[in-house]
Amino acid sequence: MSLVNVGAPVIYWFRSDMRLQDNPAWTRACAMGRPVIAVTFAPVLSAREVAWGIPGLSPSRKAWWAATVQELRRELDALGVSLLVLRGGAMEDLVRLCETSGAVALVCEEIAAPYEEAQLSSLRASGMVVHSVWQSTLFKAEDLPFSVTNLPGVFTRFRNEVERAKVPFRTPLPAPVNVSGYDLTSDTVTFVEDFADGEDASKFVADSRSAFQWRSGSFDANDEVLHLDEVRAGSAGGHAYLRSYLESSRVAQYKATRNGLTGMAYSSKWSPWLALGAVSAPEMMAALKAHERNHGATDGSYWLWFELLWRDYFRWLHLQYGVGLYRPKGLLEAPMSERVPHHRRSFTLWTEGRTGCDLVDAGMRELACSGYLSNRMRQVVASFLIYELGCDWRAGAAWFESQLLDFDVYSNQGNWLYIAGLGTDPRGGRRFNIAKQTADHDPDGAYRALWSTGS
């Protein structure tokens, strides 16, 4: 029987789970009883974006990520655990870190998307022991009233079956307290390009017109007031905003206002914290249920649950179909030679907000300037790209990936497939009437006037 070096560390890779509480994968790593090396990767262009000639990530996406990492680092520092930020997404650096530190394993969140799955496959192929944990959904797979392979083909049936079965959402976990860091030797860290602490975030100033107003810096629990109209990144900032939001009148108004276009108040704005995992969906659900117990259920509180269910559905779809969701024709059966049309010049004009359609151009300018866009406008500009400009939906999905500060691989892909009519939904796509959308959602032209220029 061989002896185990109890001093050998375990590597924990923070992916889209930038939190310590309610993080089953982090809890598993800490429970191994070994010192922990915490790492994450700075976001870079993925293969999905590079293929369309997209120049880089937006300043907004990089800054929100940097501010979130800055807060995660502060939490880890308090535990005596250093956070290493690796640049470029190179799995070779993780392999080298494992070899030089003598780590016994790597633990991380499981992400069921092709690019992210390929990352773990390459690590395992190198000989690394990798433990990945599925944890980003409201529910555990074993609690669903159907197997993932028999997922209902449309969202409405999924929702009805989940509600009828009264499926319990996963109970949030406390943050582990028995954690120890690992001191890396100097030769180990020579290849680690560490993160300039908050540099990208501290230099970023949100556009004053943006519907998502945030600023850098930690949320201090002793702060007397958290302004609902100017929020902060990270787990503490997200929880503070969640508490304040649920104590406000905005919950009851949510269903009526959710298709708004301007300002912080029209929608929940939960997605930026959910996207990076600074706050988990079960944590939000637990807080929402507590709100309903204290203040009563409303159409608004139900619709917030409804939106969290949509988020879950797109995740289960990825487990069911995987790479099929990324094919040119999505889930449609089509000959390999059948290509999706794409007009590169039209795509460029769309990204620059120069299509000649005032409403669409306003939306694209907002996205470029702020890294945020309302759900209504995301659907409008996506429909316009596909049906009016005749462009490949995958190019639009890649552009959103590069720009959105709340980019979520599951929801982004699922929503683009939904608009294109290439997912599970039987209605054959969603082609929006731009004149009607303009009359319904910007009748006085205020939104178009607000974003009439790019700066």
342 shares a domain with 302 = no
Q: How many structural domains compose the chain? A: 2
- Residue 50's pLDDT is 83
Both 310 and 359 in one domain: the answer is: no
Q: Considering the domain boundaries, does residue 171 fall inside one?
A: no
**Model confidence, pTM:** 0.94
C-alpha distances (whole Å) from 31 to each of 35, 82, 111, 379, 381 are 10, 18, 22, 43, 46
Residue 154 maps to a domain: no
- Are 332 and 313 in a shared domain? no
**pLDDT score of 35:** 96
Q: Which domain holds residue 364?
A: 327-450
- Same domain, residue pair 356 and 414: yes
Do 408 and 388 share a structural domain? yes
Q: d(Cα 228, Cα 237) in Å, to the nearest integer?
A: 11
The answer to whether residues 377 and 268 belong to one domain is no
CA nearest neighbour of 375 among 330, 310, 324: 310
- CATH number of the domain encompassing residue 264: 1.25.40.80
Q: Is 338 inside a domain boundary? A: yes
Residue 254 has φ and ψ, to the nearest 5°, of -55, -50
Could you tell me the mean pLDDT of each successive run of 10 residues in the chain, 455 residues long?
Answer: 58 98 98 96 84 91 94 95 84 92 96 95 96 98 96 94 97 95 67 50 83 82 63 94 95 96 96 98 98 96 97 97 93 66 93 97 97 98 97 96 97 96 81 96 97 85
Cβ burial of 429 (10 Å; 0-12, 13-18, 19+) is middle
- Residue 436 contacts by C-beta under 8 Å, 6 or more apart in sequence? none
Q: State whether 316 and 337 are in the same domain.
A: no
- Nearest Cα residue to 315 out of 173, 245, 410: 410
